[in-house]
Structure 1
Amino acid sequence: MSNTTKGYIALGLVCFFWGTTYLAARIGVAGFPALIFMGIRNVLAGSILLGFLFLRGAGKNWTWADARLQIIPGLCMITFGTGIVGWSVQFIPSGLAALLCSLIPVLTIMMNLVAERDEKINWQILGGILFGLGGVTLIFGDNLDLVNKPETLTGIIVVLVSVVSWCFGGLYTRKYRAKSDSFFNAGVQMFVGGCGLFTLSALNEDWSALPSMNTTSVAALIYLIFFGSILAFASYLYAMSKLPAGLVSIYAYVNPLVAILLGFLILGEKITWFTVLAFVVTMTGVYLVSSGYKLQRK
């Protein structure tokens, strides 16, 4: 089997498994406090990944300077990124959370245009931003019944906050590039982000009467650790090393589709024409922003 073929297989794994994490998180937090659940997921995933690297002899290359650079990305992308999304899916459909998170490429470009004054905007980027904002409008229009409930409106706002936080973390890693291995960086980020989630949990959740984790939550936790975190991230790095970056970026279009379909099939989450239209409009925005940015770099 050629490396290119393996790269396509790895990309398929990324598209599927990252799309399933929204559903798995919703199932997991249904039987256990959400913030501590997501904290356990990330601390264990980071520890397992770092332990594996250490056993392979990579530990001799680790430095505090390299680890320190991963603290802010870990807090932005894990604690206030995927971590609080895990909290929000208690109150909103997993497919809706995934659709909102698909705006990350659009918002990243918008933040980059503000941060880098020498960046120029072209019609594709402008059109993509407008389509992305239109997608958000359609999402809210399709969920007016949810918005009327304080907890679900909070869930939607929390996801949007997580999108901003994730984008900030991504821009930080671009500006302050670490020389260390990507797997080491991911391990530290997950561990630090998990510790941040424990802190949020201690401030917001009652630790004096924690329920025992039921079988479903345990299964979801194991799935998220090994498939949603370790396998999917390793597959992403492998795909990036064997395939063009533009091709690998299609995971951003596939993940929300996987989440929406699984939410419908397994949890009975509704899919309306508004949902389909919001998906098409949002994905068009993501595509235009991506293609416009590539054209700009050329």
Structure 2
Amino acid sequence: MTRSMTLPLWGVLIVTATLFGSSFLFIKISLADIPPFTLAAGRAALAAIAVILFLYLSGGRLPRPGKIWVPMTVLGLLTAVLPYVAIAFGQLHIDSSLGGILFATIPVFSVLIAPLVLKEEQLTPSRITGVLTGFAGVILAIGPDALSGLGTQLLGAGGTILAALSYASGTIFARTLGGTSPIVLAAGQLFVAALVLIPVSLLVDTPWTLSPAPGPLASLVLVALLNTAIPVLLMFWLVRNAGASNTSLLAFFMPVASVLLGVLVMGESLGWFVVLGFGFIISGAGLVTGTFRLHRRAVPRRS
């Protein structure tokens, strides 16, 4: 049963979506001086420290070494390592606003993957229509010019869509780990991501040779704390207090924040293809999450 949304819950949901959505802006700023692997590693490490500290202060603990870390590692790879790196590489080639729009395809991918893993999930006509609508929106948002050749725009968009696919897979996988606290899962996945990404950063980017300006460096800290650690904790609070279905509404508000900040702060322009694609993606997400529904015509009974 879907819980009713009160005004305070709506407030927390919009704040959480804004924090998530603004990550694309700060990632774009950070990439001016910080390469993608180092950006992803710094984001994971700082966010892990913050969430693990919160976990311990609230009386929780990370699991001891054992079998639980096998699924935790898979979760970390799917929801942190791959998305953080793919988003960072994507932002090298596309606007932050387009990145936020394409990342809103998470519900579209989720509805395709969920029936393969969860018995209770089924492909309904509304969800199938939502998937087709969402992918049509992706094509429109990327634009016909990018699709005509393998340009940098298509490369950046592909990276962002890969991030959405990976994150969708990870969140579905997390639903199979029902016996573990959500906050423990969040802390564990970030811990795993930091352990994986820091060595890669050291090998690939040699970060000790970098001299980032204060702006990009501050943006990295904001991405880790303001756009990762805090909204992750708020999201789990929403799941507990508003329910999973209502929390899925984050997918609608995240790209709005990304688009507005990209236009207002970065001076990005939105062509009509992007705006139309945005509308298709949001409509598709609404159909697959059940927020919008296809109504069947009632068949009159014969007397």
Inter-CA distance 49–291: structure 2 relative to 1 (3 Å threshold): same
**CA offset digits 1:208-239 (Å, max 9, x no partner):** 77312210112112212221112111211222
What pairs with 1:1-298 in structure 2 (closer than 5 Å)?
A: 4-59=6-61, 62-64=63-65, 65-115=67-117, 120-141=122-143, 144=145, 148=149, 150-175=151-176, 177-202=177-202, 205-207=204-206, 210-291=209-290
Which stretches in structure 2 are left out of the alignment for 5+ residues? 295-303
Secondary structure, counterpart of 1:154 in structure 2: helix
The residue type equivalent to 2:153 in the other structure is: T
Distance 2:148 2:24 in 1: 20
**CA offset digits 1:88-107 (Å, max 9, x no partner):** 10111111111111111111
Identity of aligned residues (%): 23
Inter-CA distance 13–179: structure 2 relative to 1 (3 Å threshold): same
The residue type equivalent to 1:184 in the other structure is: V
- 1:77 positional shift: 1.1
- 1:115 positional shift: 4.5
The answer (yes or no) to whether the contact 1:122–1:292 under 8 Å persists in 2 is: no
Which stretches in structure 1 are left out of the alignment for 5+ residues? none
The answer (yes or no) to whether the contact 1:93–1:263 under 8 Å persists in 2 is: yes
Of Structure 1 and Structure 2, which has the larger fraction of its residues in helix?
1
- 1:82 positional shift: 3.0
**CA offset digits 1:97-147 (Å, max 9, x no partner):** 1111111111111122344578542220111011011111212325x2597
Distance 1:118 1:51 in 2: 35
Secondary structure, counterpart of 2:191 in structure 1: helix
Inter-CA distance 149–200: structure 2 relative to 1 (3 Å threshold): farther
The answer (yes or no) to whether the contact 2:143–2:274 under 8 Å persists in 1 is: no
Secondary structure, counterpart of 1:267 in structure 2: coil
Inter-CA distance 146–25: structure 2 relative to 1 (3 Å threshold): farther
Secondary structure, counterpart of 2:21 in structure 1: helix
Distance 2:228 2:58 in 1: 19
The answer (yes or no) to whether the contact 1:10–1:238 under 8 Å persists in 2 is: no
The residue type equivalent to 2:192 in the other structure is: V
CA RMSD of aligned residues (A): 2.7
> TM-score of the superposition, structure 2-length normalised?
0.85
**CA offset digits 1:177-199 (Å, max 9, x no partner):** 15332222111111212332334
> TM-score of the superposition, structure 1-length normalised?
0.87
Inter-CA distance 196–154: structure 2 relative to 1 (3 Å threshold): farther
The residue type equivalent to 1:179 in the other structure is: G
Inter-CA distance 73–208: structure 2 relative to 1 (3 Å threshold): closer
Distance 1:240 1:9 in 2: 14
- 1:78 positional shift: 0.6
Distance 2:264 2:41 in 1: 28
- 1:14 positional shift: 0.7
Distance 1:34 1:191 in 2: 18
Q: Tell me the number of residue pairs that the alignment of Structure 1 and Structure 2 aligns.
A: 289
Counterpart in the other structure of 2:297? none
The answer (yes or no) to whether the contact 2:142–2:157 under 8 Å persists in 1 is: no
Name the stretch that deviates more: 238-247 or 269-278.
Answer: 238-247
